[in-house]
Amino acid sequence: MESPLLESLPHIIWRCDAFGERFSSNDRWERETGLEPASSYGWRWIQNAVHPEDRAYVREQWRRALSSHAEFSYETRLLDSRTGRYRTFFAKVLPIFEDGVLTGWLGSETDIDERAQSEAALRLLIDAGTRLAASLDASDAYAALLDAVVPAGADWAFIAATDADGETRIVATSRARDDASRAARLLQNTVLDPLAPALRSARSGFPYVETQLGPDWLGNLSPVAQDAFAGVESDSAITAPIRLDYRNAGVLVAFRRNTAQRFGDADLPLFCELARRLALALHNAETYAHEQRVAGTFQRAALPQTLPERSDVFFDAVYEAGRSEALVGGDWYDAVQLLGGRILVSIGDVCGSGLSAAVTMGLMRQSIRAVGQTTPDPVAILDAADRTLRAHDPDRIVTAFVGVLDPFTGELTYASAGHPPAFLREADGTIAELWTSGLPLGLRGKHLRSNAETIVVPRDALLVLYTDGLTESTRDVLEGEARLRAELAKPSLFENDSPAKALRRRLLPNGSRDDVAILTVRVNAVREPVAEGRTIRTWRFAAEDVRQAVEARRALADVLRESGFEADEIAGAQLVFGELLGNAIRHANGEIEASLVWAGTHPVIHVLDDGPGYRSQTPQLPSQLSESGRGLYIVASIAEDFSVVRRARGGSHARAVLPPLRRPRRRAAPSPNGAQAVPSEATAGGSPRAPN
């Protein structure tokens, strides 16, 4: 092409015949490639100038064009034979027709290498930024950056981190191919000589392009690692310092093995930015780890350190923060033994996540615990927690389930504040859903109270309380509840010593997006019959049989005396016992059952009747002229805790917790029937349930 106009254009211009064979090019071809125009004739230009990785693509574009006779365009990399580097060009090809017949092709190639490199660098930065944003610890950040850099920006790479003692160790290597992969594996965990040329960036704080990668470039290595590094035959490397909080945190080292694509100064800004983004990710990881330690310490303090240990009730629990939660969440579980032997269980979920939700969680759990020590009514406990939440965090919503279990009678009274229902799995496989109505805490008003329900828990039953993280992991609540029921139905779970942990493992094998809490209560898994002369004394007689009531009162005194109580303590206990028996006799016509059991160091008197049932009001000091109400007032004055509740199957249950011994309990001599009257350690936590 001799046209002055074509020669003045900043493009390579060429012509082909109808079959795509090039027969002319302007002088720009030689200026861009260093090759004579004749080297591009025919199809030789593909073999002589096009990057090997692009040749198949270019041939395919031409094959389609020769078939369709349509104009087309493509991008390819052409070799500059003088420097050995490839540059990116944009090709535009137009068909030439004469009288409707294809006679040839006219094409141009424009240097777009600078734009292509900028776009590639931008893509690499975006990819690295996206990967680093998802990393929450240092090892994840190292792997994320190397996965982005190789192979998009380098053939292989590694990261060396400097610790507080100044030791620099290779902590991550890229997953490259062939011999580079072997070298990377052998270099993992290698401690580098601080004076090695590879650490020049770490020492100075500046990036460098390295083209002299001799055997000693990484310093003193093991012979095997040295041979592996030399075998990679890298032509160039870039070292970029990693600066974290104004200190040297390590160095990013990337290698290229193709002389035609070796690193140059133009690549330095890209790798400096990659190292800077890695440093930011490492800073975030350190901050996250610190906050996780603080939050974890708070979470452990907010959740119960231990669960009650008893011979008749067994607990298992698990809490796990969700992957999508901010360090900690607002789920909790709790079980605490109340004065007199009853057990308060609760579970709940504070809407939201993070430290503020965990603070509210701790407040709700402690509020429920505190109120539960004064009243066994789950509704009153939830109402008090609602008022506490409104005063502390009025914009927060909390769901909760509260239950009070009486191991002596086997009765469970429970109420819910918008929480998923608990499940009761009986020994025969029957599964019952414990559901009650009630709005969540924070939404309850003065006239919007929950309803409490009372059930008798069968022997060897399993009570399962949970938060919605267990059933909503698939975002399908119905499916989650069905899976939970299916697991509860399996004998292997029912017989498992750690059913809560087994449920978490089976239903959430890969963890949960939301935090999850599970509390299981196995009731009366081991039961001994009530017998005379043991740690429990029980008397049964008809309400009209006054003689038996007197005998029971006298026997109570004998048991307490043998247990080490003083005369004044026994007199008070007899007074309480007599008042409770008298009250039951007045209100019941059937059988009366009275028991003395131990709850820790406290003796507890239980009186059960089959009467119409009633609930006691707070005993008030009666009028001086009134005889009514003096008995219950006396009982409440002597006992450390006193309550009367309706039984689930009819009748009333009066409970009086007596003061503990004023001095250490002595071991009594065997009673006439050969049994010890002093409670043993094995049964000090409670008693088997008396038959109903």
Residues 642, 554 within the same domain:
yes
Is residue 603 included in any domain, yes or no? yes
- Helix or strand holding residue 487 (H, E): helix 477-489
Q: What is the pLDDT of residue 371?
A: 94
pLDDT at 681 over 50: no
Residues 170, 235 within the same domain:
yes
Give the full edge-to-edge strand order of the sheet including 22-25: 22-25, 12-17, 101-111, 85-98, 72-80
pLDDT at 172 over 70: yes
Residues 162, 261 within the same domain:
yes
The DSSP code sequence of 15-58 is EEETTS-EEEE-THHHHHHSS-GGGGTBTHHHHHHB-GGGHHHH
CATH number of 344's domain: 3.60.40.10
Q: What is the pLDDT of residue 583?
A: 84
CATH number of 669's domain: 3.30.565.10
Q: Which domain holds residue 135?
A: 117-290
Among residues 514, 481, 465, 521, the alpha carbon closest in space to that of 498 is found at: 521
Model pLDDT for residues 540-594, shown as the tens digit of each residue? 989 888 889 889 999 999 988 888 888 988 999 999 998 888 888 887 878 899 9
Is residue 307 included in any domain, yes or no? yes
Domain boundary among 472, 501, 523: 523
pLDDT at 328 over 70: no
Mean pLDDT, to the nearest integer, of 244-252? 89
Is residue 530 included in any domain, yes or no? no
pLDDT at 481 over 80: yes
Is residue 201 included in any domain, yes or no? yes
* Number of domains composing the chain: 4
pLDDT at 617 over 70: no
Residues 95, 134 within the same domain:
no
Domain boundary among 111, 131, 165: 111
Is residue 532 included in any domain, yes or no? no
Of residues 241 and 530, the one with the higher pLDDT is 241
Question: Measured between alpha carbons, how far is 382 from 390 in angstroms, rounded to an integer?
Answer: 12
Residues 389, 414 within the same domain:
yes
Residues 510, 631 within the same domain:
no
Residues 518, 392 within the same domain:
yes
CATH number of 86's domain: 3.30.450.20
Average pLDDT, the chain: 84
* List of residues 6+ apart from 502 with CB closer than 8 A: 493, 496
Question: Measured between alpha carbons, how far is 324 from 327 in angstroms, rounded to an integer?
Answer: 9
Residues 517, 566 within the same domain:
no
Is residue 297 included in any domain, yes or no? no
Domain boundary among 111, 146, 173: 111
Residues 386, 483 within the same domain:
yes
Buried residues in 379-395 as b, exposed as e (16+ CB within 10 A): bbbbbbbbebbbeebee
